[in-house]
Amino acid sequence: MLVLTRGEFMEKIKLSKKDRQNLLKDKLREDPFVTDEELTDVFRVSIQTIRLDRLELGIPELRERIKNVAELNYSKVRSIGGTEIIGELVDLNLGENGISILETNSDMAFKKTNIVRGHHVFAQAESLAMAVIDEDVALTGVANIKYKSPVNAGDKLIAKAQVVRKRDNKHFVHVFTYVKQEQVFRGKFLLVSI
């Protein structure tokens, strides 16, 4: 029996516009943060075709999708102000987990190397850790961090936080940051509510 991956299947057949648009809706429902460029690889069509399909379906561009999701989550945050979160808060389950996205740029990087300064990566992780705990006021008591590989200006950082334990007024939160599914940063935070 011949088994094809989704990409191989898409390459073998030419989808009708209607079928492609239905699959596009499904793909964006699964992962609203997939870029138009990534969709061109999935559907084996031009970027203009993807953009036209999105327009016809009334699906906004990536930046607008992120902004819409983030606005819903900022109102849930208790421990810090929504504007104090570094990156776009795209998913939040208070007391459990959360995800933020930070689009880096050359202003965040060293001019000589184009590598993003570590405090930007740390700030995204720490603010996400603070946002995910279900407390009115908290401070970082301890942060054990590790930078695993450099981040270049223009990379999209995806930070995922998980509350792993709560003891009295102490919250243990792990944050892992990725660029294109490769882990670039790990932070273990002990947050103390006051």
Torsion angle in degrees (nearest 10) through CA of 173, 193, 90, 86: -90
55 and 82 inside one domain: no
What is the CATH number for 25? Answer: 1.10.10.10
83 and 112 inside one domain: yes
Q: Taking the model in full, what pTM does it have?
A: 0.68
> For position 59, what pLDDT does the model report?
85
**pLDDT, mean of residues 6-25:** 74
How far is the CA of 43 from the CAs of 9, 50, 63, 69, 176, in angstroms? 10, 9, 21, 25, 30
Note whether residue 112 is domain-resident: yes
54 and 80 inside one domain: no
127 and 153 inside one domain: yes
Note whether residue 92 is domain-resident: yes
174 and 124 inside one domain: yes
Angle between helix axes 47-57 and 36-43 (nearest 10 degrees) is 110
Examine the fold and report which residue of 14, 31, 59 is the final residue of a domain before the chain moves on. 59
Cβ-proximal residues to 154 (8 Å cutoff; 6+ apart), any chain: 104, 105, 106
Domain range spanning residue 36? 6-59
The per-residue pLDDT for range 84-125, each reduced to its tens digit, is 788 888 888 889 999 999 999 999 999 999 999 999 999 999
| Count of domains observed in the chain | 2
Q: Which of 32, 99, 89, 98 is CA-nearest to residue 59? A: 32
173 and 85 inside one domain: yes
Q: Looking at residue 127, what DSSP letter applies?
A: H
Note whether residue 68 is domain-resident: no
118 and 42 inside one domain: no
Note whether residue 33 is domain-resident: yes
92 and 178 inside one domain: yes
27 and 80 inside one domain: no
130 and 176 inside one domain: yes
Is 60 exceeded by the pLDDT of residue 1? no
Q: Looking at residue 152, what DSSP letter applies?
A: B
43 and 85 inside one domain: no
> For position 151, what pLDDT does the model report?
97
Rg (CA), the chain: 19
> For position 81, what pLDDT does the model report?
66
Torsion angle in degrees (nearest 10) through CA of 93, 94, 96, 102: 70
Q: 3-class SS at 62?
A: helix
55 and 81 inside one domain: no
Torsion angle in degrees (nearest 10) through CA of 17, 21, 22, 26: 150
Note whether residue 188 is domain-resident: yes
Note whether residue 136 is domain-resident: yes
Is 90 exceeded by the pLDDT of residue 35? no
Would you say how long the chain is, in residues?
194
